């Protein structure tokens, strides 16, 4: 069974002059443990596709199955529950809170999953350990390099042990060496069993994945 | 009037020194300043003058290398990291240039975040979040995600998050820096309104149009407070390529 199964997903906006399509007839299966790269020019619909898979965007038509859940048939509230249960997100701009320490930033996803304080402490401690950032726990994001900030963001994305990590241009704000560090990290997570779906413009980073999905003007192309 | 009371913020001889490869950089030297309750102060100056460092220290995100910082009658320059974090969460609301919203949390959840660290009961949290969202005119977007909003709307959500904990002071670091002038204007209007309702605001900006909206301007140059007159002179000199440092 596929982890994610999309069938004829479409998204469009109505405007004065007609309908503008962002995604056209996207049919795609993602298996558990895959590392998939979505590529394509700006405006091709890459980020939109990622947002739909992660249930941050509910305004589309078609069929979306997440394992045995028929997402297209669910109410927004139930989708949110699934989003929390299955997905971790990494964004180009890190999306760390600058007025929270590394430790507190890592705690955020747990506070939204009703994890008890005691378990929370243990999970944050484990994650700090796993990512070798124990020494940085009391620092604020601005006291870290871009690569370190993104590393914390990846740690936050996986702290609640999601099935899938969705990464939207995770290296887009980083220098090559730091970008490589983040890609190696994603690769390691994938080797440990996490399914990864990334959007990137970079051919070298795309090669980290098993398979490339090319988008152009909202269509999947060869 | 509260002006008889002690100032909310007092800095005496504040210093910040960075050491890099045997070079000492004085990011801030000998800063004396006060902010009274209900004031709207802007900190202005060219890039690299120390504005953001000063704001980070005011916001307890960074510690000074020397001098005194008294926040609401409490010396805070030598507190442990965890005590600082606690005071910071209770006393200070932040608005950043890049909004600092989390993309996979809804508007509502983003605003709720600072309250989740306080062990506040769910019902009270809900009321507070709703009130803050209404205050910035974003209650109708509570279930949206940040990427579904314009920059101006995202910054209004960020302002809601900054005020939801009813902080003693609001610190804003270039809050209009990522916005076009129309949206930037709307966010500044919002800050002005909050100030009119009693909020104490300290804002860093290098946009003179917005700096002048504050009641009082503090000019920083090379890590020191200078008079408005000197600030203008030095800005002119620098513009003409003269090395004033």
Instruction: DSSP for B26-91, please give it.
Output: EEEEEEEEEE-TT-EEEEE--TTSSHHHHHHHHTTSS--SEEEEEETTEE-TT--HHHHHHHHHHH
Q: What is the mean pLDDT of chain A?
A: 94
Chain B contact for A162 (CB, 8 A cutoff): no
Q: Which tens digits make up the pLDDT trace of A82-108?
A: 998 999 999 999 999 999 999 999 999
B90 touches chain A (CB under 8 A): no
The pair phi, psi for residue A90, each rounded to 5°, is -125, 130
Q: Does A82 touch chain B (CB under 8 A)?
A: no
pLDDT for position B241: 66
Q: Phi/psi of residue A153, each to 5°?
A: -65, -40
Closest by CA to A50, choosing from A13, A11, A81, A20, is: A11
Tens digits of per-residue pLDDT, A4-58? 999 999 999 888 888 899 999 999 999 999 999 999 999 899 999 999 999 999 9
Please indicate if any CB of chain B lies within 8 Å of the CB of A21: no
Query: What are B204's strand-pairing partners?
Result: B43, B173
* B145·A51 Cβ contact <8 A: yes
Distance CA A218, CA A32 (A): 25
Contacts 24+ apart (CB under 8 A), A131-139: A131/A155, A131/A185, A133/A102, A136/A102, A137/A101, A137/A102, A137/A103, A138/A101, A138/A102, A138/A103, A138/B81, A138/B82, A138/B85, A139/A101, A139/A102
Distance CA A57, CA B230 (A): 52
- Name the residue in chain B with its Cα closest to that of A109: B105
With CB atoms and an 8 Å threshold, state whether A140 touches B61. yes
Mutation pick from B16, B18, B102 vs chain A, by most beta carbons of A within 10 Å, is B102
Cα end-to-end distance, chain B, whole Å: 42
Answer whether A150's CB lies under 8 Å from A178's CB: yes
The ipTM (two decimal places) reads 0.80
- CA–CA separation, B84 and B88 (whole Å): 6
Residues of chain B contacting A106 with CB distance shorter than 8 Å: none
The pairing of strands A164-168 and A4-15 is unpaired
Chain B contact set for A170 (CB, 8 A): none
Calculate the CA dihedral of residues A111, A117, A119, A121 and round it to 10 degrees. Answer: 90
Output the pLDDT for position B2.
Answer: 46
**B101 to chain A nearest CA, in Å?**
6
Q: Is A58 on the interface with B (CB under 8 A)?
A: no
Smallest CA–CA distance, residue A122 to chain B, in Å, is 17
pLDDT at B243: 58
Tally of structural domains, chain A: 1
| CB pair distance less than 8 Å for B104 and A93 | no
End-to-end CA distance of chain A: 24
Chain B residues in contact with A56 by the CB 8 A cut-off are: 103-104, 145, 147
- Cβ neighbours for A22, distance < 8 A, ≥ 6 positions apart: A11, A12, A13, A45, A48, A218
* Cβ within 8 Å, pair B105-A140: no
Closest by CA to A13, choosing from A1, A3, A23, is A23
Output the DSSP codes for A152-203. HHHHHHHTT--SEEEEESTTTTS-HHHHHHHHHHHHHHHHTT-EEEEE-S-H
The answer, yes or no, to whether residue A150 has pLDDT greater than 70, is: yes
Can you say whether the dihedral through the CA atoms of A45, A80, B102, A152 is positive or negative? negative
CB within 8 A of A80, min separation 6: which ones?
A: A55, B106
Chain A contact for B147, CB < 8 A?
A: yes
pLDDT bracket for residue A217 (50, 70, 90): very high
Q: How many residues does chain B have?
A: 245
Residues of chain B with pLDDT under 70: 1-5, 235, 238-239, 241-245
pLDDT digits (tens, 9 = 90+) for B7-18: 999 999 999 998
For residue A116, give its domain range.
4-221
Percent of chain A topping pLDDT 70: 100
Burial bucket for residue A202 (CB in 10 Å: 0-12, 13-18, 19+): middle
CATH number where A142 lies? 3.40.50.300
Pairing verdict, β B74-75 and B66-71? antiparallel
Domain range B2-239, its CATH number among 3.20.20.100, 3.40.50.300, 3.10.20.340, 3.40.640.10? 3.40.50.300
B42 neighbors B211 (Cβ within 8 angstroms): yes
């Amino acid at each position: 069974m596929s982890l994610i199964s999309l069938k004829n997903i479409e998204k469009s906006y109505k405007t004065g002059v007609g309908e503008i399509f962002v995604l056209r007839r996207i049919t795609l299966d993602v298996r558990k443990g895959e590392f998939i790269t979505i590529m394509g020019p700006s405006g091709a619909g890459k980020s939109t596709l990622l947002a739909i898979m992660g249930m941050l965007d509910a305004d589309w038509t078609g069929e979306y199955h997440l394992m045995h859940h028929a997402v297209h048939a669910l109410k927004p509230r139930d989708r949110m529950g699934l989003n929390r249960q299955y997905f971790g997100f990494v964004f180009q701009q890190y999306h760390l809170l600058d007025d929270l320490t590394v430790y507190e930033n890592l705690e955020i996803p747990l506070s939204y999953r009703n994890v008890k304080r005691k378990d929370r402490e243990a999970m944050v401690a484990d994650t700090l350990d796993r990512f070798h950032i124990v020494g940085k726990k009391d620092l604020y994001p601005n006291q870290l390099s871009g690569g370190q900030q993104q590393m914390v963001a990846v740690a936050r994305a996986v702290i609640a042990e999601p099935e899938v990590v969705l990464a939207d241009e995770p290296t887009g704000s980083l220098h090559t060496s730091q970008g490589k560090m983040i890609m190696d990290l994603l690769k390691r997570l994938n080797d440990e069993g996490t399914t990864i779906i990334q959007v990137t413009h970079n051919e070298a980073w795309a090669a980290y994945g098993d398979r490339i999905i090319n988008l152009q003007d909202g269509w999947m192309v060869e | 009037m509260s002006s008889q009371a002690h100032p909310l913020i007092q800095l005496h001889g504040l210093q910040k020194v960075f050491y890099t490869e045997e070079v000492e950089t004085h990011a801030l030297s000998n800063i004396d300043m006060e902010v009274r309750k209900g004031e709207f102060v802007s900190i202005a100056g060219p890039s690299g003058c120390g504005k953001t460092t000063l704001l980070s220290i005011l916001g307890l995100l960074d510690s000074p290398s020397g001098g005194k910082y008294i926040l609401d009658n409490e010396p805070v320059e030598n507190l442990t990291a965890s005590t600082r974090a606690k005071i910071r969460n209770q006393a200070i609301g932040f608005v950043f240039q890049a909004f600092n919203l989390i993309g996979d949390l809804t508007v509502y959840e983003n605003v709720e975040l600072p309250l989740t660290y306080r062990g506040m009961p769910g019902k009270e949290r809900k009321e507070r979040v709703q009130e803050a969202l209404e205050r910035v005119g974003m209650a109708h977007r509570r279930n949206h995600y940040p990427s579904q909003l314009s920059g101006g709307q995202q910054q209004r959500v960020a302002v809601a998050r900054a005020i939801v904990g009813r902080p003693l002071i609001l610190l804003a670091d270039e809050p209009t820096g990522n916005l076009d002038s129309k949206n930037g204007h709307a966010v500044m209007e919002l800050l002005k309104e909050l100030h009119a309702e009693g909020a104490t605001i300290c804002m860093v900006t290098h946009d003179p149009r917005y700096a002048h909206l504050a009641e009082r301007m503090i000019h920083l140059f090379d890590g020191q407070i200078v008079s408005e007159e000197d600030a203008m002179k030095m800005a002119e000199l620098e513009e003409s390529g003269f090395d004033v440092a």
